[in-house]
Amino acid sequence: MTASDRSVDLTHVAARAADSKQAENLVALDVSGPLPLTDVFLVVSGRNEPNVRAIAEEVIEKVEEHGAKLLRREGLSEGRWVLLDFGDLIVHVFHDEDRLYYSLERLWKDCPVVPLTVPVS
């Protein structure tokens, strides 16, 4: 199974939004095979707590403008690991240190990467 076109489209919207707030190390993973409830994980990093919050808020705004509904949001007030659940797309916005600790890319290393249209510095 592969991610739907709609999920990939939302991933690109979210990635551009995150990039506009100086998100770093953007990685999108097609998790539709092992996870029946979502298609894509977008994982990005912010340099500090305010940057993590700004990235998450921009992603929410732009993805909702694109017609998706935010189903669940966790961690925004702390600004260390923000989880944004849009159904077929889940965005993880990490503080650099927390991203290294949890290493989601390592946990989901067998999942295909979704190519992004923004720099993936």
pLDDT number for residue 120: 52
pLDDT the model gives residue 1: 63
Q: Please list the residues that pair with 72 across neighbouring strands.
A: 85
As a whole number, the mean pLDDT across the chain is 94
pLDDT of residue 74: 97
pLDDT of residue 42: 98
Say whether 89 sits in a helix, a strand or coil: strand
The architecture that CATH gives domain 5-107 is 2-Layer Sandwich (3.30)
- pLDDT digit string, tens, across residues 17-28: 999 999 999 999
- Tell me how long the chain is: 121
Cβ-proximal residues to 49 (8 Å cutoff; 6+ apart), any chain: 78, 79, 80, 95
1-5, 81-85, 106-110: lowest mean pLDDT where? 1-5
Going from N- to C-terminal start, the domains of the chain cover 5-107
Q: Are 18 and 59 in contact (CB under 8 A)?
A: yes
Nearest to 92 by CA among 32, 1, 20, 27: 27
What would the pLDDT profile of 23-53 be if each residue is shown by its tens digit? 999 999 999 989 889 999 999 999 999 999 9
pTM of the model: 0.94
Q: What is the pLDDT of residue 77?
A: 93
